[in-house]
Amino acid sequence: MPIDPAAFSHARIYRERALKTLSYGVSSTPRGNQLPAPIVAARAEEAHVYDATGNRFIDYAAGYGPLILGHTPACVVDAVKNELDRGLRTASVHAGEAELAELVCATLPSAEKCAFLSSGTEAVQLALRIARAATGRTRIVKFRGNYHGWMDSIHAANSVTGDGPGTLGQDPDACRALTILDWGDAKGLAEVLSTEFAAVILEPVAINGGCFMPPDGFLQEVRRLTREKGAMLIFDEVITGYRLALGGAQERLGVTPDLSVIGKAMGSGLPIGAVAGSDEAMEPVSSGKLFHRGTFNGNPVSVAASIACITYLRDNAPRLYPGLDTMAGTLERGATAAFAAHGITAAVNRIGSALQIALGLPAMPSLADTARADFAATQRFSGALLRQGVQIIGRGLSYVGAAHTEQDIAETVEAYARAAETFRREERVAG
């Protein structure tokens, strides 16, 4: 449904207030860039977010990925309430930890042991540390356009257009151990990978860059080369874990890493991350020689949410994942048709339940093409969609979840058409 413009005046008034005491007015910088103004989520239900003035948005931002079961999955909400009734017990040993570890090891192909953290960023940090501890080496291969969280040692080359640190204030020395290559460049990897390298880390399916499948044979070749040189292969499945399939991209693509990093969807919206791997790969942590620290690691509330979420996904996987694919496929066709009908040059990429739109180029077959995309225009189109009652991540990414209904999808396809029409008109005036 088109949103009353007054809804955004409320959002602007809130933002002015927040900016006085909250840096950038938000708790994570990208949230502050939503156009026409960052909406204030007063409450949410299923796949819908409501602002303080009661406007309803169909939500595909999905908490930047975690909300695979929507905002109010009964199994997760009940598990969290039940857990709270038993007292907070932060930093205690509790039986949920082993139960969740058993579930992860039963569902993620590469997992025989796992360790819990509170975010994907922290989990990446632990995985890199495990690789260094296990190999006694320091160098890491990272690929352009893959994102692995905001730690200084890996927060570089987040886009294909610059290899430097990802933001102001990073210690430039912290990235010195990185060798940066183009994602998909198996030949380049064969040339640089040596016995100095502790690990090769990558998103096996590049959702962050713009939803790309790995080139044919790439992951197999990375697997072969890392084995040959004794480096660990780390799959960053923070997005793809429990989203592309129950067993993540590794299940879908049939390549098994030494270590996997998961987060987001595993927690159904509560903060959690994990590193999982074979008994051998996890030995530095399992033996206690590598200190794995963190006050909030394995906190009972996040663990309870995660147990409920993974149990639900496991029990419903045969129906749930194909259902997400089907709904996202309808959105893909709807977005493509809306752009075509209004003469807007845009690429639409989709992998499973993740959908990327990028304005400014007619197709975006590889990660390298993202250098030619117009992400400012994409952000403005996301704003046009928001005004039609559909929330996506501003840079053009949408996640379909199990709480979306056919009605939501049909309404969204109509919203694409209206947003494309207004976007085209407004850009013409502005141009």
Ligand X SMILES: Cc1ncc(COP(=O)(O)O)c(C=O)c1O
How far is 408 from 7, CA to CA, in rounded Å? 21
Has 24 been annotated as catalytic?
no
208: contact with ligand X by CB under 6 A: yes
119: contact with ligand X by CB under 6 A: yes
How far is 292 from 110, CA to CA, in rounded Å? 20
Unique residue bearing structure tokens 């270590």: 259
Among 147, 183, 339, 399, interactor with ligand X by CB under 6 A: 147
Sheet holding 41-45, edge to edge: 41-45, 48-51, 56-59, 390-391
Q: Residue 419, class by beta-carbon neighbours within 10 Å (0-12 exposed, 13-18 middle, 19+ buried)?
A: buried
Span interacting with ligand X, options 92-100, 104-112, 120-128, 402-410, rule CB under 6 A: 120-128
Residue with Cβ nearer ligand X (239 or 419): 239
131: contact with ligand X by CB under 6 A: no
How far is 207 from 334, CA to CA, in rounded Å? 20
353: contact with ligand X by CB under 6 A: no
* Interacting residues with ligand X between 291 and 330 (CB under 6 A): none
148: contact with ligand X by CB under 6 A: yes
* Interacting residues with ligand X between 53 and 92 (CB under 6 A): 64
Asked whether 206 and 146 are in contact (CB, 8 A), the reply is yes
String marking each residue 225-264 x if it binds ligand X according to CB under 6 A: -----------x-xx-----------------------x-
Has 236 been annotated as catalytic?
yes
How far is 282 from 101, CA to CA, in rounded Å? 13
- Distance of closest approach, residue 3 Cβ to ligand X, in angstroms: 27
- Distance of closest approach, residue 123 Cβ to ligand X, in angstroms: 7
Q: Which of 51, 264, 369, 399 is catalytic?
A: 264
Among 32, 96, 120, 383, interactor with ligand X by CB under 6 A: 120
- Distance of closest approach, residue 146 Cβ to ligand X, in angstroms: 7
269: contact with ligand X by CB under 6 A: no
Q: How many CA atoms lie within 13 A of 9 on its CB side?
A: 3
Nearest to 32 by CA among 425, 379, 426: 379
Q: Which of 236, 258, 369, 408 is catalytic?
A: 236
Residue with Cβ nearer ligand X (273 or 389): 273
Residue with Cβ nearer ligand X (65 or 389): 65
Has 229 been annotated as catalytic?
no
203: contact with ligand X by CB under 6 A: yes
Q: Which of 147, 312, 399, 416 is catalytic?
A: 147
Phi, psi of 50 (to 5 degrees): -115, 135
Among 32, 63, 149, 210, interactor with ligand X by CB under 6 A: 149
Catalytic residues: 147, 236, 264
**Which positions lie near ligand X, rule CB under 6 A?**
64, 119-121, 124, 147-149, 203, 208, 236, 238-239, 263, 273
